Amino acid sequence: MRRFVPLLAAAMLSACATVPTDAPVRMTQPAAEVPLQDQQVLFWNDATRSDRFRRMEDFFAGHEVAAAADVRNLPAGSPYDAATTAALDAYLASSDAAGIMVLQDGRVRYEKYGLGFGPQGRWTSFSVAKSFTSTLLGAAVKDGFIASMDDPVTKYLPKLAGTAYDGVSVEQLATMTSGVKWNEDYTDAASDVARMLLVAPVAGESQAITYARQLTREAPAGRKWVYKTLETNLLGDLVTAATGQSLAAYSKKKIVDPAGFAGPLFWMTDLTGNNIGGCCLSIRLSDYARMGQFALEGGQSAVPVGWFASAGAPQVEFGDGNGYGFQWWTYPGASFGAQGIFGQSITIVPDRRLVIAIVSNWPAATGKPLSASRRALLDQVIAASGR
């Protein structure tokens, strides 16, 4: 999700939202109305991004759930050698990173902060949230709310019957291979991704479903991969419909508590009061790392045995060892990770028992030089982490 919705409308509509929540969830509202033209994240200047990425709940409505009662301890591990530490320090200083944490065997080998951020603060995820939604999908399968990944999405979202999503399976939605035509150009104000949360809300359905009604098919289901944030929003709606719980409420049970999060989780909502599956939860840096550790260890007992082995494997292959799983990016060497615009990431390297969490305020949403610089750092850290 790359554009946000009018705050006043969100405040008015979320007050009458009927999203079920059977775990303690606090409905949050922004402290003050923010002009619509000041809500478009792609146009925020550097100072505005640096300020707001750490307090999105002050600008957008959402749900908040409490930290885990039993917080997972992250003990100190052995520090890296001088060269690796210097490389991490240099990246932190030069890349507009707000924090970097590296875990190996569940122990902290590196943890430092920038931009005035600190261990008690929360930072927004952007599309890192997609991998959380994927994990909740796995939990819904384990809990029996979703019978099969081969089920048609219309079984759980019947309002998609008669749309381009007829005949699309849950797994195809999770791998973004629906064949539905989509434009995710963040520089184009007329693109689908720019308009999907500006669609007028319709009573009884999420904005994602409302927007999906107007889409058309460009390829048979399962034949073509196209990155579509809408499809993660629909996946979140599907999990909510199947479980009868909001994503925030379900995440409290299936991620926050079992992973042992140290701080509360905030998850933004759309104009209908539904959590936005493809974007915008806020947690501590250490909890991004805990999420990575949770996935590294298999996510038991929240998801089926082997879930992350499948979710973090290249269900779609791009070449050179890269691909896409169930809402996780896959990398060479059987590693995988979550990514969000402006430099948010969780990277998981199973054969090194390694988790690298980074939160940032990149000067642009995306860009090859930015990604290449991060990749170079990750490769250096992985190489220094042995086997």
Interval 377-386 mean pLDDT:
97
pLDDT interval class at 30 (50, 70, 90): confident
Contact 66, 377 (CB under 8 A): no
Contact 249, 22 (CB under 8 A): yes
Percent of the chain exceeding pLDDT 90 equals: 83
Does the pLDDT of residue 2 top 70, yes or no? no
So what's the pLDDT on residue 32? Answer: 60
So what's the pLDDT on residue 20? Answer: 47
> What pLDDT, in 10s, does the model give residues 158-171?
999 999 999 999 99
Interval 8-31 mean pLDDT:
53
Q: Classify each residue of 63-97 as buried b or exposed e, where b means 16 or more C-beta atoms within 10 Å of its C-beta.
A: bbbbbbeeebebeeeeebeeebeebbeebbeebbb
Percent of the chain exceeding pLDDT 70 equals: 91
Q: Specify the pTM.
A: 0.92
So what's the pLDDT on residue 28? Answer: 87
> What pLDDT, in 10s, does the model give residues 64-123?
999 999 999 999 999 999 999 999 999 999 999 999 999 999 999 999 999 999 999 999
Does the pLDDT of residue 175 top 90, yes or no? yes
pLDDT interval class at 23 (50, 70, 90): low
Interval 182-205 mean pLDDT:
87
Does the pLDDT of residue 195 top 70, yes or no? yes
So what's the pLDDT on residue 39? Answer: 57
Question: For the residues of 35-81, what is the DSSP string, one character each?
Answer: -GGG--GGG--HHHHHHHTT-GGGTS-EEEEPPPSSPPP--B-PPPP
Pick the CATH number of 7-384 from 3.40.710.10, 3.40.50.1220, 3.40.50.970, 3.30.1330.20: 3.40.710.10
- Other CB atoms within a 10 A radius of the CB of residue 359 amount to 32
Does the pLDDT of residue 38 top 90, yes or no? no
Question: For the residues of 2-28, what is the DSSP string, one character each?
Answer: -----HHHHHHHHTT------S--EEE
So what's the pLDDT on residue 189? Answer: 78
So what's the pLDDT on residue 288? Answer: 99
Interval 241-270 mean pLDDT:
98
